[in-house]
Amino acid sequence: MPRLLKRAFRLTLWFCAAFATVTAVPVLALRWIDPPSSAVIQSWQQHSGREAQQQWRPLEKISPNLQMAVIAAEDQKFRHHHGFDFASLQKALSETRRRTRGASTITQQTAKNLYLWNDRSYLRKGLEAWFTLLIELFWSKERILEVYLNIAEFGEGIYGAEAAARNFFGTSAQHISRRQAGLMAAVLPSPRRMSAKIPSRYVRSRASTIDRQVRQLGGTVYLKGL
């Protein structure tokens, strides 16, 4: 019996080491290599039979207005946490009515969009936590924000800041105004139901709230602390 236990223990260690290596290497590589797509984009293309709109832009070519609007809307503690905002998670779980993504950080959203399928199983949640830890370990905050802004869904088949800016406002991601940034960030919880191009009263109201929160965070000066 002890021999069987030792063998099982060695096999478990081998499996864990192999899993850690297989998952960590591609995450580490994306610290320098821009991902050509994401699991979410591939899934949408497969189900829709259409090609998604996406154009990669480095962070310095994405307006600081949008960077701050997304942080204010999605993850105000982005600069300080290590992938998980447990205070926000506890608050979200205690509320009867809450946004689907209310407890997710930008790092968690990046992990889900890049690597995982759309599911609510314990396996997927476990993998989300694992990839979140790897991303926080290997990437800088600037890199996390850069990748997120290039793969986030802003509308049906529209992914990333550049494609969204071109479609909604006829401008580049680099020249997004504060108002436009607020509208884009406002639709992130449900980009297929809400529109930044033809914003509803709710979207306009939420955009104004986001703009106020950006000012409360200190404006674009906040980005220097990343």
Distances (CA, A) of 160 to 52, 134, 198: 10, 22, 18
Half-sphere exposure of 192 (CA within 13 A, CB side): 3
pLDDT in the model for residue 188: 95
- pLDDT, one tens digit per residue, over 135-166 is 999 999 999 999 999 999 999 999 999 999 99
Q: Does pLDDT of 125 surpass 80?
A: yes
pLDDT in tens, 5-39: 777 777 778 878 888 888 999 999 999 999 999 99
What is the dihedral sign for C-alpha 39, 44, 46, 47?
Answer: positive
Whether residue 196 is predicted with pLDDT greater than 90 in this model: the reply is yes
Q: How confident is the model at residue 99 (pLDDT cuts 50, 70, 90)?
A: very low
Instruction: Work out the angle between the directed axes of helices 178-186 and 161-169 (0-180°, nearest 10).
Output: 110
- Domain parsing of the chain, residue ranges: 1-30, 31-225
Q: What is the pLDDT of residues 35-85, one digit of tens each?
A: 999 999 999 999 999 999 999 999 999 999 999 999 999 999 999 888 887
Tokens, residue 128: 């989300």
pLDDT at residue number 94? 47
Output the six-digit token pair for 187.
Answer: 């639709």
CB distance 161 to 54 below 8 Å: no
Residue 1 confidence (pLDDT): 55
Does 106 or 15 have the greater pLDDT score?
106
Give the pLDDT confidence score for residue 42 in this predicted structure: 95
Cβ–Cβ under 8 Å, residues 65 and 183: no
Fold of the CATH domain 31-225: Penicillin binding protein transpeptidase fold (1.10.3810)
Instruction: List the beta bridge partners of residue 53.
Output: 158
Q: What's residue 19's pLDDT? A: 82
pTM of model > 0.95: no
